[in-house]
Structure 1
Amino acid sequence: MLEGVNVALGVTGSIAAVTTVELAHELRRQGASVRAVMSPSASGIIHPWAVEFATKHDVVTEITGQVEHVDLCGRDGWADVFLIAPATANTVGKIAGAVDDTPVTTTATTALGAGVPVVIAPAMHEPMYDHPGVLDSIARVEEWGVDFVDPRIEEGKAKIATEAAIVTGVARATTEQSLAGNHVIITSGATSEAIDPIRVLTNRASGSTGRAIARACHVRGAEVTLVHDGPEVHYANTVSVESAAEMLAAVEGAAPDADALISAAAISDYTVKKADTKLRSGEPRTLDLEPTPKILDSIRQAHPNLMMVGFKAETTGNEEAMVDQAAALRDRVDLAFVVANDASVMGSEETRALLVGPGAESPADCETVEGSKQQLGDRVARQLAERLSGSTDA
């Protein structure tokens, strides 16, 4: 997600500085190079040697005649982004007032003046985060284009955001905003049809592909609505559903304001009439299956001009058959493209998929995406951006 990105990491005197080593490791796992700048207060919480170990670079603990702040974040500096994590209330207020009395605040002023993107992950006690002056400082700095990664409000504290949320914030700040101004609905994961108050009919889909696509669309600047049977996520407005009917209703509710729909969910093809009480075990049972409405068909009928992307999973292992089925779906519902894959990837971290675009009739006509589901999500988001841009130009 951060391949080739140079991250200058500012560390200030919050107790959350103890998480800096693991954050630096995660940034590097995602492909970034990291160099750190520490305030004196931060050095009292975590030793610069630990941060040096995590980043594999010398740590800036004072500004010298080497003008380290300019070397890192000047107009011709090393960094693609300046991330301050954690940022104290004191640091946020100083940045808002252009006060440069630590290496971190001096580097922040330099970055803002040079047009280097700045991302801030605050961490402090909740009453400090709610202070009018702190909120004013955050609002002012946001007006300058600084991105904040909101803290987690827990146990009376505004705790630093998760590593995943911070990585996402850095990726969004350093990625072309090719989906900015677009609202994208994404369905993800499995749906479940209740048999009785305890049992359900469902499938093996984990939702990891849909979540990866949602994150990739957010990183490219989209407003994302994620419809799934799962928890809230930091990169999308989440609508939690269980059944196919609930998913259809949620999509119908969001569609009037949407620019695109990506239907990545493994939606139940059949439902049953739910029993009011638990069905007793140990005896033969027949279930009458009734087909569920097709979300893509229903939304296409109601919104003939909405850009839509479909998924088609098959079990044959035959790519020709996969493309045939995907092309038939594409043409029937007038989809921008279809992602075709083998159902064996359900629940796996790795995937292999074919992007079946307009006119594609064989595997040779399709783009193949092989690797992590994060890579597939990024490619689907890029393809969507290209399609939306083309439709806008037209």
Structure 2
Amino acid sequence: MLEGVNVALGVTGSIAAVKTVELAHELRRQGATVRGVMTGSAQGIIHPWAVEFATDNDVVTEITGSVEHVDLCGYDGWADVLLIAPATANTVGKIAGAVDDTPVTTCATTALGADTPVVIAPAMHEPMYDHPGVLEAIDTVAEWGVDFVDPRIEEGKAKIASEEAIVSDVARAAGDRPLAGQHVVVTSGATSEAIDPVRVITNRSSGKMGRAVAQACYVRGADVTLVHDGPDVPYATVRPVESAAEMLAATREACADADTLVSVAAISDYTVEASDEKLRSGQELTLALEPTPKLIDEIRAEYPELPIVGFKTETSGDEGAMIEQARRTLERAGLAFVIANDASVMGSETTCALLVHADDAARYEGTKAGLGGEIADSIAAMLGIGSTDS
């Protein structure tokens, strides 16, 4: 996600600075090169040696005659993005007032003047975060184009956002955002059909592929709606659903103002009339299964002009047969393209898939995150708005 991206990581004097080592590691795991910049207060919480270890680079702890701030964040500077995480109320206020009395605020002023992207992840006690002056400072800085990663409000604290949220926003800030202004709806994971209040019929889908597509579209600038039976994620507005009927209803509503639908979910093909009471075990039981409506057919009928990307899962292992089945789905529902894969990849981090268009098919083998990026770039190309390597 961050391959080839240089991140200047500013660390300020919040107790959340103890998370800096793991954040730096995660940025590097995603492909970034990281250099640390620390305030004096931050050095009282985490030693610069720890940040040096985590980034594998020297740490800036003071601005000297070497003008480190210009080297990092100035015109033609080293950094592709300045990330300040954690950012205290004090630091946000200083950035809003162009006060440069720490290495981090000096880098921020330099970056803003040089149009280097800036991402800020605040962390402080909740009453400080609710202070009118702090909120005004955040609004002021946001109006300058700075991206804020919203904190998690828990236990009276505005806790620093998750690593996933921060990394996603850094990637979004550093990239070209070819999907900016686009609303992408993604369905993901399995659905469940209730047999009784305890038991359900479901399938093996983990939702990893759908979440990867949603994150990749977000990184490329899209506003993303994720329809799934799964956790909240920081890169999308989540519409929680459980059954196939609920997924269809939520998707239909979300597509009212969508620019693209990516139908990744492994939606139940059959449903059953549920019992109001728990069925007792040990008895012979026959379930009368009824087919569920095909989501892409229903959405196509209601939104005939909406570009739809479909997924087709098979078990044959025969790529020729998979392409043939994918093209049948593509033609039946008028899809933009179809991703065909084998059921064996369900639940894994890696995948092997075929991106099937009307006239050609391309093979992909690698991580689901990587395939998510390929799909997002294909959507951007389909919409005629370019692509990115982010």
Instruction: Please classify the TM superposition score into its range, dividing by the shorter chain length.
Output: over 0.9
> What's the offset of the Cα at 1:51?
0.6
1:378 to 373, 376, 384: 373
Report the secondary structure of 2:234's partner residue.
Answer: coil
1:147 aligns with 2:147: yes
Structure 2 equivalent of residue 69 of structure 1: 69
RMSD over equivalenced CA pairs, Å: 0.9
Cα offsets for 1:308-355 (capped at 9, x unmatched) = 000000000100010000000001100000000000000111101000
> What's the offset of the Cα at 1:278?
1.2
Instruction: Supply the AA of the counterpart residue of 2:264.
Output: A
Instruction: Supply the AA of the counterpart residue of 1:240.
Output: P
Structure 2 equivalent of residue 247 of structure 1: 247
Measure, in 2, the Cα distance between the counterparts of 1:156 and 1:210.
33
Matches within 5 A, 1:248-267: 248-267=248-267
Instruction: Supply the AA of the counterpart residue of 2:367.
Output: S
Instruction: Supply the AA of the counterpart residue of 2:375.
Output: V
Structure 1 equivalent of residue 353 of structure 2: 353
Instruction: Supply the AA of the counterpart residue of 1:304.
Output: P
Cα contact 2:63–2:69 (8 A) shared by 1: yes
Matches within 5 A, 1:290-329: 290-329=290-329
Structure 1 equivalent of residue 383 of structure 2: 388
Instruction: Supply the AA of the counterpart residue of 1:330.
Output: L
Cα contact 2:178–2:221 (8 A) shared by 1: yes
> What's the offset of the Cα at 1:256?
1.3
Report the secondary structure of 2:262's partner residue.
Answer: strand
Measure, in 2, the Cα distance between the counterparts of 1:92 and 1:135.
10
**What is the TM-score with the length of structure 2 in the denominator?**
0.98
Structure 2 equivalent of residue 130 of structure 1: 130
Cα offsets for 1:262-285 (capped at 9, x unmatched) = 000000000011111111221221
Cα contact 2:2–2:31 (8 A) shared by 1: yes
Matches within 5 A, 1:206-217: 206-217=206-217
> What's the offset of the Cα at 1:358?
2.2
Unaligned runs of 5+ in 1: 361-365
Instruction: Supply the AA of the counterpart residue of 1:164.
Output: E
Report the secondary structure of 1:61's partner residue.
Answer: coil
Instruction: Supply the AA of the counterpart residue of 1:273.
Output: E
Matches within 5 A, 1:168-317: 168-317=168-317
Measure, in 2, the Cα distance between the counterparts of 1:230 and 1:347.
14
Matches within 5 A, 1:27-106: 27-106=27-106
Measure, in 2, the Cα distance between the counterparts of 1:246 and 1:384.
26
Measure, in 2, the Cα distance between the counterparts of 1:148 and 1:131.
17
Report the secondary structure of 2:359's partner residue.
Answer: coil
Q: Aligned residue pairs: how many?
A: 386
Cα offsets for 1:22-80 (capped at 9, x unmatched) = 11111111100000110010111111111111111111111000000000001011000
Instruction: Supply the AA of the counterpart residue of 1:351.
Output: T
Report the secondary structure of 1:169's partner residue.
Answer: helix
Instruction: Supply the AA of the counterpart residue of 1:368.
Output: R
Measure, in 2, the Cα distance between the counterparts of 1:223 and 1:50.
36
**What is the TM-score with the length of structure 1 in the denominator?**
0.97
Report the secondary structure of 2:384's partner residue.
Answer: helix
Instruction: Supply the AA of the counterpart residue of 1:55.
Output: T
Report the secondary structure of 1:330's partner residue.
Answer: helix
Identity of aligned residues (%): 72
Cα offsets for 1:361-384 (capped at 9, x unmatched) = xxxxx1111111100111111101
Report the secondary structure of 1:36's partner residue.
Answer: strand
Report the secondary structure of 2:316's partner residue.
Answer: coil
> What's the offset of the Cα at 1:390?
6.7
Measure, in 2, the Cα distance between the counterparts of 1:256 and 1:349.
32
Report the secondary structure of 1:389's partner residue.
Answer: coil
Structure 2 equivalent of residue 363 of structure 1: none
> What's the offset of the Cα at 1:3?
0.5
Matches within 5 A, 1:358-373: 358-360=358-360, 366-373=361-368
Instruction: Supply the AA of the counterpart residue of 1:195.
Output: I
Structure 1 equivalent of residue 342 of structure 2: 342
Runs of 4+ in 1 over 2 A off after TM superposition: none
Measure, in 1, the Cα distance between the counterparts of 2:308 and 2:345.
23
Cα contact 2:179–2:385 (8 A) shared by 1: no
Measure, in 1, the Cα distance between the counterparts of 2:256 and 2:68.
51
Instruction: Supply the AA of the counterpart residue of 2:86.
Output: P
Measure, in 1, the Cα distance between the counterparts of 2:101 and 2:381.
45
C-alpha change, 1:132 and 1:390, in structure 2 (3 Å) is closer
Instruction: Supply the AA of the counterpart residue of 1:372.
Output: T
C-alpha change, 1:342 and 1:194, in structure 2 (3 Å) is same
Measure, in 2, the Cα distance between the counterparts of 1:73 and 1:135.
25
Unaligned runs of 5+ in 2: none
Cα offsets for 1:114-158 (capped at 9, x unmatched) = 010000000000000000000000000001000000001010000
